[in-house]
């Protein structure tokens, strides 16, 4: 099982050292499996006999003497005992190394828990600040859009036609989009800036890029694809 650690928290040195030893043991095990594969797999003897038979058949068909040297059967039979011994020893080493890793983790847990708790508290504080910044920025946008639309109407001599932006239960994002749409229709150039669509809880928002990135980094919001 892989345990994701918060940014800035590394695996304890004792655990890393023990894990490196365990990884090395597994590497040696894999190499041994390859080296003794002919004598370890199920059916190794039958396959050796088949190779001996194929060699004898090929020699006979070619009019040559049947090989008299070491047969495949004798080779893998001799190799079998060595291979089994090596594999059993390596398995024992892997179990011992795994136990060392476990003990190292257990010994480091109190300190690790304390550091993770500290990281959690810091992340929660960042999330809260990002959320406050989100609402501050959203309010500033509403105020600016409302002011721009009102000023335009006053310049045109139609102050009574300006849309009213108040602290109502209506969704602020909708009010902001309404204001931008109104300004575009009335030929007022407004720099919309970069906006990012995000999901906060079960609601979809369109926020200024800087604010959105803060909320996404804090885990308060999830980025939505443009598609």
Q: How far apart are CA 3 and CA 97, in angstroms?
A: 19
Find tokens 């194929």 and name the residue: 54
Task: Return the closest-CA partner of residue 36 out of 89, 93, 82, 100.
Answer: 82
What is the pTM for the complete model shown?
0.46
Q: What is the pLDDT, as a whole number, of residue 31?
A: 92
Q: What is the pLDDT, as a whole number, of residue 170?
A: 45
Q: Is 68 helix (H, G, I), strand (E, B) or coil?
A: coil
Q: What is the pLDDT, as a whole number, of residue 167?
A: 46
Q: What is the pLDDT, as a whole number, of residue 12?
A: 83
209-212 LR contacts (CB < 8 Å, sep 24+): 210/137, 211/130, 211/133, 211/134, 211/137, 211/138
Residues listed for the chain: 227
How would you write the pLDDT of the chain (227 residues) with one tens digit per residue?
Answer: 566 777 777 788 888 899 999 999 999 999 998 888 888 777 777 787 888 788 888 878 888 888 777 787 788 887 888 888 999 999 999 999 999 999 998 888 888 888 888 888 888 888 888 888 888 887 777 777 777 766 665 555 554 444 544 444 444 555 555 556 655 555 444 444 567 788 888 888 777 777 777 788 878 788 886 54
Asked if residue 72 lies in contact with residue 80, where contact means CB atoms within 8 angstroms, the answer is no
Q: How far apart are CA 164 and CA 145, in angstroms?
A: 10
**DSSP states along 78-118:** HHHHHHHHHHHHHHHHHHHHHHHHHHHHHHHHHHHHHHHHH
């Amino acid at each position: 099982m892989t345990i994701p650690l918060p940014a800035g928290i590394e695996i304890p040195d004792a655990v890393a050292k023990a894990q490196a030893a365990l990884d090395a043991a597994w590497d040696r095990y894999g190499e041994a499996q390859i080296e003794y594969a002919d004598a370890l797999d199920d059916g190794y003897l039958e396959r050796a006999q088949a190779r001996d038979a194929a060699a004898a058949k090929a020699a006979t068909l070619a009019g040559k003497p049947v090989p008299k040297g070491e047969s495949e059967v004798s080779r893998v039979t001799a190799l079998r005992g060595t291979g089994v011994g090596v594999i059993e020893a390596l398995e024992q080493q892997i179990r011992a190394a795994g136990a060392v890793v476990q003990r190292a983790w257990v010994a480091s847990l109190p300190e690790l828990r304390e550091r993770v708790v500290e990281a959690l508290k810091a992340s929660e504080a960042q999330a809260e600040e990002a959320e406050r910044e989100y609402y501050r920025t959203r309010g500033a946008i509403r105020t600016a859009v409302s002011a721009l639309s009102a000023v335009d109407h006053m310049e045109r001599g139609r102050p009574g036609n300006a849309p009213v932006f108040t602290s109502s239960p209506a969704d602020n994002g909708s009010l902001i989009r309404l204001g931008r749409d109104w300004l575009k229709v009335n030929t007022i150039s407004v720099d919309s800036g970069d906006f990012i669509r995000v999901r906060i809880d079960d609601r979809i928002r369109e926020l200024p890029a800087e604010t959105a990135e803060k909320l996404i980094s804090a885990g308060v919001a999830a980025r939505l694809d443009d598609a």
